[in-house]
Amino acid sequence: MLHGVVVKAYNGFYYVQSEKLLLSCKVRGRFKKERFTLMVGDEVRCSLTGHNEGLIEEILPRRSLLRRPTVANVDQVVITFAAANPDISTTLVDKLLVLAESSHLSALLCINKSDLADSEELSRIITIYAAIGYPVLLTSVKTGQGMAELRQRLIGRVTAFAGPSGAGKSSLLNAVEPGLTLVTGEVSAKIGRGRHTTRYAQLLPLSGGGFVVDTPGFSATEFTELDPACLGLCFPEIAGLAGGCKFSTCLHDREPQCAVKDAVQTRDVELSRYESYKAILQELRDTKKGY
Ligand code: GDP
Ligand code: ZN
């Protein structure tokens, strides 16, 4: 039996990467139900039935599930922004962090185009996110800064990139492993298969081990499934303080005796983070009644 990862699903075939072998597989008949839930990223065991052909015999338990694109077992999201051109929006950084947190994925922040950076503004942003526990990587495809560390962080993991178009996601990936490029929003729109590219993501194997999802991860417009009461849990520094609020149901908005608002006053919680929290809370309230 070979152990592998489903890297692509197409026309009833599942392409399973097992070490250096790429097998085109069918699913064993008795897996009637699983067949419909099997997805890219799933780890499987399969038997060889011919030259580069196999039969999926067992689907191993799933560790995580990313939606849009739908990929199982993603380990981490590299939230990628450019130091300049386009400028960083901390609101968008925070929204993408919330999406990663709410999917229980670990996140790291990659600030690319460091060669174009205004170092003062940049160190302010790095400080904000490093202080609340997110690894921050400063990279430049142009000068090579940070590339070795990025490469290191991808080894043996399944990684999705996320971030605005133009940040350099495709360029970064191509620098990590020449020949690999992401199917970006613009490209998929141009060739008129935007929906398909998000529905049928593929995993790209890295030569050092590990995989990258070929379409950028979630976009920041998909908060509808998040309960407003859970939003605070997606901000590590807010989650850590919520126990000190007078009301256990405190949403840290208009409630009195709120430990989070106190911490914003004393600057123990960064104002931009709290403002992102409130902006997202408002979005969630707009889509859900009763809050
Ligand atoms: P994506 O939309 O996030 O995939 O971004 P791309 O990889 O397509 O990059 C957008 C543009 O930024 C391209 O013109 C790249 O050549 C450029 N670019 C990417 N990385 C860097 C970098 O580190 N420094 C500079 N100066 N330009 C970069
Ligand atoms: Zn509170």
- Please determine, for residue 275, whether its predicted confidence score (pLDDT) is greater than 90: yes
Tokens of 4: 């592998």
Q: SS3 string of 188-203? A: HHHCCCHHHHHHCCCE
- Please determine, for residue 187, whether its predicted confidence score (pLDDT) is greater than 60: no
Tokens of 115: 């060669």
Q: Which atom of ligand 1 is nearest to the CA of 173?
A: 7
User: What are the tens digits of pLDDT across the range 197-225?
Assistant: 445 789 999 999 999 999 888 776 667 67
Residues in the chain: 291
User: What are the tens digits of pLDDT across the range 23-54?
Assistant: 999 988 766 565 568 899 999 999 999 999 99
Q: How far apart are alpha carbons 111 and 96 in whole angstroms?
A: 14
Q: Which atom of ligand 1 is nearest to the CA of 141?
A: 23
Residues around ion ligand 2, judged by CB within 5 A, are 245, 250, 252, 258, 260
CA of 238 to the centre of ligand 2 (A): 8
The bound ligand whose nearest atom lies closest to the alpha carbon of 278 is 2
Partners of 76 in the beta sheet?
106, 159
Residue whose entry in the numeric block shows the structure tokens 């600030």: 111
> Higher model confidence: residue 291 or residue 224?
224
Residue whose entry in the numeric block shows the structure tokens 């962080």: 153
CA angle 193, 196, 201 (to 5 degrees): 125
Q: Provide the CA 185 distance to its chain's centre, in angstroms.
A: 15
> Higher model confidence: residue 120 or residue 278?
278
User: What are the tens digits of pLDDT across the range 68-124?
Assistant: 888 999 999 999 999 999 999 999 999 999 999 998 899 999 999 999 987 888 999
Query: Could you give the percent of the chain with pLDDT greater than 70?
Result: 89
Asked whether 17 lines ligand 1 (CB < 6 A), one says no
Quote the mean pLDDT of the chain: 89
User: What are the tens digits of pLDDT across the range 234-268?
Assistant: 999 999 999 999 999 999 999 999 999 999 999 99
CA of 95 to the centre of ligand 2 (A): 20
Q: Describe the crossing of helices 271-287 and 90-102 by its angle, rounded to 10 degrees.
A: 60
Q: In what order do the strands lie in the sheet with 203-205?
A: 136-138, 106-112, 76-82, 158-162, 211-213, 203-205
Asked whether 167 lines ligand 1 (CB < 6 A), one says yes
DSSP 61: P
Asked whether 115 lines ligand 1 (CB < 6 A), one says yes
Q: How far apart are alpha carbons 187 and 227 in whole angstroms?
A: 33
Q: Please answer whether residues 111 and 232 qualify as being in contact, where contact means their C-beta atoms are separated by less than 8 angstroms.
A: no
Q: Which atom of ligand 1 is nearest to the CA of 114?
A: 23
Asked whether 182 lines ligand 1 (CB < 6 A), one says yes
- Please determine, for residue 290, whether its predicted confidence score (pLDDT) is greater than 60: no
- Please determine, for residue 146, whether its predicted confidence score (pLDDT) is greater than 90: yes
From 110, 171, 212, 219, the mutation candidate for ligand 1 (largest count of ligand atoms within 8 A of CB) is: 171
Residue closest via CA to ligand 1's atom 16 equals 171
Q: Which atom of ligand 1 is nearest to the CA of 143?
A: 23
